[in-house]
Structure 1
Amino acid sequence: MSITKEDILKKYFGYDSFRPQQAEIIDTVMRNEDCLVLMPTGGGKSVCFQIPALLRPGLTVVISPLIALMKDQVETLKGNGIEAAYLNSTLSFSEQDHIMWRAKIGELKLLYIAPERLFSGNTFDFLREWNVNLFAVDESHCISSWGHDFRPEYRQLNLIKQRFPKVPVIALTATADRVTRRDILKQLGIEHAETFVASFNRPNLSLSVLPGRQRLPQIQRFIKKREGQSGIIYCLSRKNTETVANSLNKAGLSAAHYHAGLPAETRSRVQEEFLRDDVQIIVATVAFGMGIDKSNVRWVIHYNLPSNVESFYQEIGRAGRDGTPSDTVLFYSYMDIITRQEMINNSEQSDEQKELLHAKLNRMKQYAEADICRRRILLSYFNEAVEQDCGNCDVCQNPRTRFDATVIAQKALSAITRTNEKIAMSMLIDILRGSQNRSILQHGYDRLPTFGVGRDLRTDEWAEYIGQLLNSGAMDIAYDEGHAFKLNPFSKQILRGERKIELVKFIPLAERKAREEELIEVQKPKQEIIRDALFEKLRSLRKQLADALGLPPYVVFTDATLSEMAQKRPVSEAQMKAISGIGAEKYRRFGQTFINEIVTFEKENPEPGTRIVKGTTYTETLELYKAGYSVKVMGEKRNLNPVTILSHLVKLKEDGHDIDLKALIDQKSYQTIANAAQEMSIRKDSALKPLFELLNEQYDYGQIKLALAIMEEEYPSY
């Protein structure tokens, strides 16, 4: 029987089902078709190429610009029992030669490679010898000149399709608007590839924006309420990373700073300490974090305003990758805007690129100043429609005053329509307010029916409302067309009167500042993990094992897996493998050790009536069975009826333990019970009293259960 993608998912990754779109993407790749995948950070992008790599013969080449990501993913894959390696500048020539030899002889299933390494020497020639079955281009937004992290090396990746036209290409990224998506497909030479856009919604992340005053005291209070939790603080300058880290250490917290100006060995050491939970907090520039697959980051703070929504979304996505509730905080002040604007103006970018960067910065400013649900703003930026507020951001938790703004929206959208969707913010406001400037007259916009229909609102009010319309998804913006506003299906429904839209009432600047003063205190964190005594014991055990193996703790098990383990308290192989994130290799390496810890904890901390008591009693019976005792002696030692002991052994067999059921009953008794069961069509899960009575009560219920279990084992179709 051929192995399926579901088999691979369970065996190697420990999950019972795929997340949305993963299965469809895998099927597309298995049909040798190219595709572009957009999934948020922590959304499961890697599985989309890792499972095809295991299903197909040959080698999957993963192109990634992130050395940290390569190392992290290769360690995780190896921990799951998958042969993987990476090629980058951190390896010696002999190490690289060894890996290339393993690729050539077919030992590897996945090879991670930096774009610089791909285009150096004779790498492309070697690829032809390695039976490459798939190319995965990770962080593919880097290929686009419109993307937020442009890398020139990525612009050569169109050579892949030219030289390997029959090998499928899967491009993956966590953040890309529509313009960037088109550019990615064009640059890779896969213009007609199917695009999969997963939901960008990360409901487990809380979103808060706080005024950028008294930042350090606020941060210290925030962290002290989250004792022992890992987090990242992003700063704009190297100096700030050092200042903030020193301040936290003086306050008794465990922090380290990280920026590109540090020696390579220092950066590597700090990163390893953070990954291994030896340091709780990293204070860093954006040089840190890309590709770090640390699943137990519980919070992310932005000390300064990021330059664009894409970067912000990717950076906050490093919190809560295991799906459990996590917190994000953005500090914002007008000086952040001034600093960012100066950085753009003083850069060596072209005028066109500077204009783009200013526009993206303005969208980030709109997010920070928004009076509507912040999650809706983020999702609409990535062209994802949202019908309801999230309830998990500071705006939703402190609602603003709303009003029916359908007429205001219709005025703005009508002006956009009548100008053939070619105008940007300032021109739109001038049309609505009836400005008589030269540009308006040159284009003849003063003759439009919508000219001057918005004279009742000031310029700053229109700017506020248009920003809200944009953030609400009521219209789009085309950065590659001079930032012109575009209509979408939502826009047309508003224009036709089929949908209403509410906006937040405009608040003058002075009143807004007064209200911000009331938001200084950071909210208390939600309970994100069941952090009871057993969880802490398991976390301590995980740290010991990880240190002994030289691995980050989350590579052993994630916090989410430990939390589920602490709640369900598995004490058998089957129960342990039913925990999300525990596959065959993880169980083989660590499963019994954690079971032993759970059993020991229960013996030391008995809680009558809890689920673990039942599980532990099975384990004690199993220990006696392995010691070779008979059913009668096991019952005497445990002060239990032999019927109960037999029930335990049947259950242990079902859970996957090696129990020889046939050795527990003589052949004559088994045959008598089996014949009677067949006569009455009784199975193991049927009511047993009729069979007990038919047999004239000569056999107890334990023997009957035992015989029926053997029948089911020998005749599965019975």
Structure 2
Amino acid sequence: MASPDTAHGTRDALSVLHRVFGYESFRGEQQRIIDHLVEGGDALVLMPTGGGKSLCYQIPALVREGTGVVISPLIALMQDQVDALRVLGVRAGFLNSTQDPEQRREVETALLAGELDLLYLAPERLRLESTARLLDRAAISLFAIDEAHCVSQWGHDFRPDYLALSELHERWPDVPRIALTATATKATHAEISTRLNLEQARHFVASFDRPNIQYRIVAKREPRKQLLELLRGEHAGESGIVYCLSRASVEKTAQFLVDNGIEALPYHAGLDAATRAANQARFLREDGLVVVATIAFGMGIDKPDVRFVAHLDLPKSVEGYYQETGRAGRDGLPSTAWLAYGLQDVVQQRKMIDTSEGDSAHKRRLATHLDAMLALCETVQCRRVQLLAYFGQSGEPCGNCDTCLSPPQSWDGTIPAQKLLSAVYRLLNERRQKFGAGQVIDILLGKETEKIRQHRHDQLSVFGIGTELSDGEWRGVVRQLLAQGLLAVEGDYGTLVLTEASGDVLGRRREVMLRREPERPAKAAKPAKRAAVEMPAEAAPVFEQLRAWRAATAKEQGVPAYVIFHDATLRQIATTAPTTLAELGTVSGVGESKLAKYGQQILDALAG
């Protein structure tokens, strides 16, 4: 239960931040957003994952009279969100389809009695007239619309129920609203604003930079083996998420990791609901687990100690990529965003767009998203600068991503491009034939294969004119020509065809600059900007001791370990070694409720 002064708003926001959440000061725009909402203003907030978005509505809900209503699509995570708040002494509840009638009645009774500080609702439940009538009878302090990008119809997480949230202001005109998202381009930002009727709200746009995340994109060779090397070499025993495009790939990759001694669980829409829920719960509650998933997994995952996010397939958009990689390092500690990317990814994604449902405008939007993702993969500039530029923000080279650590070179690939495009042209015009990249490259390399002899491709004038490059280098040329729109794929077999722009290269009216991969891949490096001080060596055993205590306590209470304390808090405790409750209370992340519940246990663990 929240203490009376918290529930009824007699303390200011900073007092609540310190006493309830255990933090000394606000970060970035938090103070301005919170003050604006406390005063009754509407807000639209764009803030990266890990930037502290939830405090922007939780604290105003505790300061203002009434109950804060949080609309969230994350039904599977509501229980954990509510558990985390209750540990802090906040009176929280939720209403969604997982509850039986008796559980719902209990929450509704508490709401009407003024005994809830925060109520979480799924958007589809808010659309029920019975829910609306319930809220009519309650004192509502604010509406928070979490994951607001779900309202974007052309976004990667569109939820139709979000479109109805524009009606909040019409039915409850005096209740302030705050919409929050961790990712939005200018176009998505404008769409959120229009669809949620927030044009007159104050808009707060924080920096999208996540300096603790190291972005790395590697040429795909044997992706599962490359992934295993990453996990064993840099993230042994640590939690992480691996994203794959297909369900089959998820299953095979999870099994591959298990076979190689890494505890991994699959997650995709083809699994039954109980298995998905169990795997997600284990990932949230246990240390050191890896989840291999399709993009069905992850939105709203609050686990702070995800040390890596890996992609074995190319994401469809920079927004999707940023949202997914943002699940790493929410605690501000060094983390890795790793992507294996190759020619087949480009072919596959282009083919998926061509065969997708929707009109030509929709396909153009998908192609634009993909082009931006390809530009990020192929850049010779700092990855972070390119990523920030996509969201309309500027940045300096970070010195921490792979292109900063091992700068790739640009090289004049005009002549190789002309040779490759010429080979495709000759197949199309002299033979009326279409082939994939493998056959075109074999022709350029002059390979005497059965397929070459069968189709008499050794008689083409371009046969053997490309021996200056290796097979792998030619695949890189094809990939980059596809990325630049100088080549296209079509049909079920991914055959190569020319584009309108191909003629400019063949006619020597356009130069083609290509990226040459560094001979040695970038090694992991400590981020240039550390968000947390490294523990001294003597504190490491104490930290592990505290983690063991936390794991046992979390298991006993049936909550995720991070609900008890974040790693960052345990690190500070291990480093400062407090000997009294007063000293422990000065550690960041130790609020009054947690100090009362766990303080003596921690001091006992330290003394032992």
Q: Structure 1 residue 148: deviation in Å?
A: 2.9
Sequence identity percentage = 44
Give the 3-state SS of the residue equivalent to 1:265 in structure 2: helix
Among residues 279, 293, 299, which one is paired with 1:284 in the alignment? 293
The answer to whether the Cα contact below 8 Å between 2:408 and 2:518 also exists between their aligned partners in 1 is: no
Instruction: Give the equivalent residue in structure 1 for 2:272.
Output: 263
Q: How does 1:494-643 map to 2 (within 5 A)?
A: 509=514, 512=516, 515=517, 518-519=520-521, 523=524, 530=535, 532-600=540-608
The answer to whether the Cα contact below 8 Å between 1:53 and 1:109 also exists between their aligned partners in 2 is: yes
Instruction: Give the equivalent residue in structure 2 for 1:110.
Output: 118
The answer to whether the Cα contact below 8 Å between 2:72 and 2:121 also exists between their aligned partners in 1 is: yes
Instruction: Give the equivalent residue in structure 2 for 1:335.
Output: 344
* Distance in structure 1 (CA, Å) of the matches to 2:590 and 2:512: 52
1:135 maps to 2:136: no
Among residues 359, 370, 374, which one is paired with 1:361 in the alignment? 370
Instruction: Give the equivalent residue in structure 2 for 1:210.
Output: 218
Q: Structure 1 residue 507: deviation in Å?
A: 7.8
1:351 maps to 2:352: no
* Distance in structure 2 (CA, Å) of the matches to 1:378 and 1:393: 11
* Distance in structure 1 (CA, Å) of the matches to 2:287 and 2:55: 29
Instruction: Give the equivalent residue in structure 2 for 1:50.
Output: 58
1:153–1:204 CA distance, 2 compared to 1 (3 A) = same
Instruction: Spell out, residue by residue over 1:341-366, the C-alpha distance to the aligned partner (whole angstroms, 9 max, x if none).
Output: 22223222332222111101110111
Instruction: Give the equivalent residue in structure 2 for 1:380.
Output: 389
Instruction: Give the equivalent residue in structure 2 for 1:682.
Output: none
Q: Comparing 83-92 with 530-539, which one deviates more in the overlay? A: 530-539
* Distance in structure 2 (CA, Å) of the matches to 1:207 and 1:382: 16
Instruction: Give the equivalent residue in structure 2 for 1:36.
Output: 44
Give the 3-state SS of the residue equivalent to 2:299 in structure 1: coil
Instruction: Spell out, residue by residue over 1:428-456, the C-alpha distance to the aligned partner (whole angstroms, 9 max, x if none).
Output: xxxxxxxxxxxxxxxxxxxxxxxxxxxxx
Q: Structure 1 residue 54: deviation in Å?
A: 0.3
Instruction: Give the equivalent residue in structure 2 for 1:166.
Output: 174
Instruction: Give the equivalent residue in structure 1 for 2:245.
Output: 236
1:401–1:524 CA distance, 2 compared to 1 (3 A) = closer
Instruction: Give the equivalent residue in structure 1 for 2:263.
Output: 254
Q: Structure 1 residue 525: deviation in Å?
A: 7.2
The answer to whether the Cα contact below 8 Å between 1:68 and 1:292 also exists between their aligned partners in 2 is: no
* Distance in structure 1 (CA, Å) of the matches to 2:564 and 2:544: 15
Q: How does 1:419-438 map to 2 (within 5 A)?
A: none
Give the 3-state SS of the residue equivalent to 1:195 in structure 2: strand
* Distance in structure 1 (CA, Å) of the matches to 2:581 and 2:128: 48
* Distance in structure 2 (CA, Å) of the matches to 1:280 and 1:259: 16
Instruction: Give the equivalent residue in structure 1 for 2:326.
Output: 317
Q: Structure 1 residue 283: deviation in Å?
A: 0.5
* Distance in structure 2 (CA, Å) of the matches to 1:151 and 1:335: 30
For residue 358 of structure 2, what is the amino acid of its counterpart? Q
The answer to whether the Cα contact below 8 Å between 2:334 and 2:526 also exists between their aligned partners in 1 is: no
* Distance in structure 2 (CA, Å) of the matches to 1:147 and 1:96: 32
Q: Comparing 538-547 with 276-285, which one deviates more in the overlay? A: 276-285
Q: Structure 1 residue 524: deviation in Å?
A: 6.7
Instruction: Give the equivalent residue in structure 2 for 1:662.
Output: none
* Distance in structure 2 (CA, Å) of the matches to 1:247 and 1:543: 27
* Distance in structure 1 (CA, Å) of the matches to 2:105 and 2:350: 47
Q: Structure 1 residue 236: deviation in Å?
A: 0.5
Q: Structure 1 residue 278: deviation in Å?
A: 5.8
* Distance in structure 1 (CA, Å) of the matches to 2:347 and 2:112: 54
Give the 3-state SS of the residue equivalent to 1:241 in structure 2: helix
1:178–1:132 CA distance, 2 compared to 1 (3 A) = same
* Distance in structure 1 (CA, Å) of the matches to 2:146 and 2:104: 21
Instruction: Spell out, residue by residue over 1:393-431, the C-alpha distance to the aligned partner (whole angstroms, 9 max, x if none).
Output: 00010124589xxxxxxxxxxxxxxxxxxxxxxxxxxxx
Q: Structure 1 residue 518: deviation in Å?
A: 3.7
1:343–1:588 CA distance, 2 compared to 1 (3 A) = same
Among residues 6, 15, 22, which one is paired with 1:7 in the alignment? 15
The answer to whether the Cα contact below 8 Å between 1:307 and 1:364 also exists between their aligned partners in 2 is: yes
Instruction: Spell out, residue by residue over 1:266-292, the C-alpha distance to the aligned partner (whole angstroms, 9 max, x if none).
Output: 011111111111661110111111111
Give the 3-state SS of the residue equivalent to 1:7 in structure 2: helix
Q: How does 1:294-305 map to 2 (within 5 A)?
A: 294-305=303-314
For residue 562 of structure 1, what is the amino acid of its counterpart? L
For residue 136 of structure 1, what is the amino acid of its counterpart? A
The answer to whether the Cα contact below 8 Å between 1:177 and 1:381 also exists between their aligned partners in 2 is: yes
List alignment gaps of at least 5 residues for structure 1: 404-459, 468-505, 601-718
* Distance in structure 2 (CA, Å) of the matches to 1:338 and 1:88: 41
Instruction: Give the equivalent residue in structure 1 for 2:437.
Output: none
Q: Structure 1 residue 210: deviation in Å?
A: 0.5
The answer to whether the Cα contact below 8 Å between 2:409 and 2:518 also exists between their aligned partners in 1 is: no
* Distance in structure 2 (CA, Å) of the matches to 1:244 and 1:597: 39
* Distance in structure 1 (CA, Å) of the matches to 2:249 and 2:155: 27
Q: Structure 1 residue 580: deviation in Å?
A: 0.9
Give the 3-state SS of the residue equivalent to 1:532 in structure 2: helix
The answer to whether the Cα contact below 8 Å between 2:400 and 2:526 also exists between their aligned partners in 1 is: no
* Distance in structure 2 (CA, Å) of the matches to 1:536 and 1:329: 27
Task: Output the TM-score relative to the length of structure 2.
Answer: 0.79
* Distance in structure 2 (CA, Å) of the matches to 1:543 and 1:33: 41
Q: Structure 1 residue 106: deviation in Å?
A: 1.0
Q: Structure 1 residue 120: deviation in Å?
A: 1.9
For residue 284 of structure 2, what is the amino acid of its counterpart? L
Q: Structure 1 residue 265: deviation in Å?
A: 0.5
For residue 346 of structure 1, what is the amino acid of its counterpart? T
Among residues 73, 77, 83, which one is paired with 2:91 in the alignment? 83
* Distance in structure 1 (CA, Å) of the matches to 2:140 and 2:384: 40
* Distance in structure 1 (CA, Å) of the matches to 2:103 and 2:352: 41
Instruction: Spell out, residue by residue over 1:5-61, the C-alpha distance to the aligned partner (whole angstroms, 9 max, x if none).
Output: 111001111100001000000111112111100000111000000000000111111
1:179 maps to 2:187: yes
For residue 123 of structure 1, what is the amino acid of its counterpart? T
* Distance in structure 2 (CA, Å) of the matches to 1:570 and 1:129: 48
For residue 215 of structure 1, what is the amino acid of its counterpart? P
* Distance in structure 1 (CA, Å) of the matches to 2:60 and 2:33: 10
Instruction: Spell out, residue by residue over 1:171-194, the C-alpha distance to the aligned partner (whole angstroms, 9 max, x if none).
Output: 000001111111111111121111
1:89–1:393 CA distance, 2 compared to 1 (3 A) = same
Among residues 111, 126, 134, which one is paired with 1:126 in the alignment? 134
For residue 13 of structure 2, what is the amino acid of its counterpart? K
* Distance in structure 1 (CA, Å) of the matches to 2:240 and 2:48: 19
Q: Structure 1 residue 508: deviation in Å?
A: 5.0
List alignment gaps of at least 5 residues for structure 2: 412-476, 485-510
* Distance in structure 2 (CA, Å) of the matches to 1:41 and 1:349: 31
Q: CA RMSD in A?
A: 2.2
For residue 303 of structure 1, what is the amino acid of its counterpart? L
Instruction: Spell out, residue by residue over 1:451-476, the C-alpha distance to the aligned partner (whole angstroms, 9 max, x if none).
Output: xxxxxxxxx9xx99x99xxxxxxxxx
* Distance in structure 2 (CA, Å) of the matches to 1:40 and 1:337: 28
The answer to whether the Cα contact below 8 Å between 1:222 and 1:522 also exists between their aligned partners in 2 is: no
Give the 3-state SS of the residue equivalent to 2:307 in structure 1: strand
Query: Looking at CA atoms only, which structure, 1 or 2, has the larger radius of gyration?
Result: 1
* Distance in structure 1 (CA, Å) of the matches to 2:287 and 2:362: 41
The answer to whether the Cα contact below 8 Å between 2:141 and 2:176 also exists between their aligned partners in 1 is: yes
Instruction: Give the equivalent residue in structure 2 for 1:414.
Output: none
Instruction: Spell out, residue by residue over 1:518-576, the C-alpha distance to the aligned partner (whole angstroms, 9 max, x if none).
Output: 42x86377798637111111111110111111111111111111111111111111211
1:398 maps to 2:399: no
Instruction: Spell out, residue by residue over 1:321-359, the C-alpha distance to the aligned partner (whole angstroms, 9 max, x if none).
Output: 011111110111121122222222322233222211110
The answer to whether the Cα contact below 8 Å between 2:407 and 2:518 also exists between their aligned partners in 1 is: no
The answer to whether the Cα contact below 8 Å between 1:146 and 1:183 also exists between their aligned partners in 2 is: no
* Distance in structure 1 (CA, Å) of the matches to 2:184 and 2:37: 21
For residue 524 of structure 2, what is the amino acid of its counterpart? Q
Q: How does 1:438-453 map to 2 (within 5 A)?
A: none
